[in-house]
Amino acid sequence: MSKQFLVIGAGRFGSSVARTLYQRGHDVMVVDIDEMLIQHISNEVTHAVQANVTSEEALQALGVRDFDVVIVAIGQDIQASIMACILLIELGARYVVAKAQTELHGKVLKKIGVNRVVFPERDMGQKLAHSLIAHNIIDLIELSDDYSVVEVASPEEMIGRSLQELNLRARFGINVIAIRSKNGITNISPAAEDRIDQGDILVAVGDNKSLKKLGWI
Ligand code: ATP
């Protein structure tokens, strides 16, 4: 079902979020103070509007309550980001996601009631670092400070062995939740007797300490 999104800030991050949502078939309104950026993105989203979102009247005119999700993609101007978030929450926005530039900025956003705070530069930097250190890591999602989901190229020593033989759950508390084979087929409920083939990608969940022991994070 298609959802209604409001993206505030059409910089690199905001415009990438907006375009992707629109390409996936959702309704996307983009707002930026910069008229040039609005013109630039206008035929790649549903609506593009020039406005200053630190003005309550401007935000009111956008009807923020009508959107399922509002994304605040302003990073540099921390004051504008915080003001926009406070006004959005006061005006009854249903779910606010905001990008934070620093840890402190993120803390403030959380305190004022932003539903989800993202740190794209920090997170991408961490992912890149992980993938450079352990070259078999394809992706990593941090579920919390202690647990992660990792996508790893199957290590050489595991090839040809079954999940039962590897016994990762009992040995490390790690669960293999999916196996993706070279030909693109994904087994989303791997059984104990399923064997790991050359080129398989494993999706596993576990606590960070155990994942580290395996060199998976
Ligand atoms: P990115 O890294 O995504 O390019 P950034 O983190 O550097 O962006 P900014 O450049 O500060 O973030 O802001 C992103 C966009 O938000 C800019 O295009 C800017 O014009 C817009 N913006 C900033 N303040 C306001 C405001 N008060 N009202 C509307 N748009 C704003």
CA geometry: angle at 117 spanning 176 and 3, to 5°?
A: 80
Would you say the CB of residue 44 lies under 6 angstroms from ligand 1? no
What average pLDDT does this structure show over 194-206?
Answer: 94
Q: Which of 106, 152, 45 is nearest to 32 (CA)?
A: 45
What average pLDDT does this structure show over 10-15?
Answer: 97
Q: What percent of the chain has pLDDT over 70?
A: 99
Q: Which of 6, 7, 70, 77 to mutate to test the pocket of ligand 1 (most atoms within 8 A of CB)?
A: 77
Would you say the CB of residue 34 lies under 6 angstroms from ligand 1? yes
**Residue 84: strand, helix, or coil:** helix
CA distance 83 to 50: 17
Residues 6+ positions from 8 with CB-CB distance below 8 Å = 14, 30, 31, 32, 53, 70, 71, 72, 73, 74, 84
- For residue 185, the CA-to-ligand 1 centroid distance in Å is 41
Would you say the CB of residue 17 lies under 6 angstroms from ligand 1? no
CA distance 102 to 96: 18
What is the reported pLDDT for 26?
97
- For residue 112, the CA-to-ligand 1 centroid distance in Å is 20
Q: Which of 126-140, 141-155, 200-214 has the lowest mean pLDDT?
A: 126-140
Q: Which of 19, 32, 34, 59 to mutate to test the pocket of ligand 1 (most atoms within 8 A of CB)?
A: 32
Would you say the CB of residue 121 lies under 6 angstroms from ligand 1? no
Exposure letters 66-99 (e unless 16+ CB within 10 A, then b)? ebebbbbbbbeebebbbbbbbbbbeeebeebbbb
What is the reported pLDDT for 68?
98
Strand pairing category for 69-72 and 4-8: parallel
Residue nearest to atom 22 of ligand 1 (CA): 9
Q: Select the more confidently predicted residue: 83 or 127.
A: 83
Would you say the CB of residue 37 lies under 6 angstroms from ligand 1? yes
Identity of the residue numbered 42: S
**Beta strands in the chain, from DSSP E residues, in sequence order:** 4-8, 27-32, 47-50, 69-72, 96-99, 116-118, 137-142, 147-153, 175-180, 186-187, 201-207
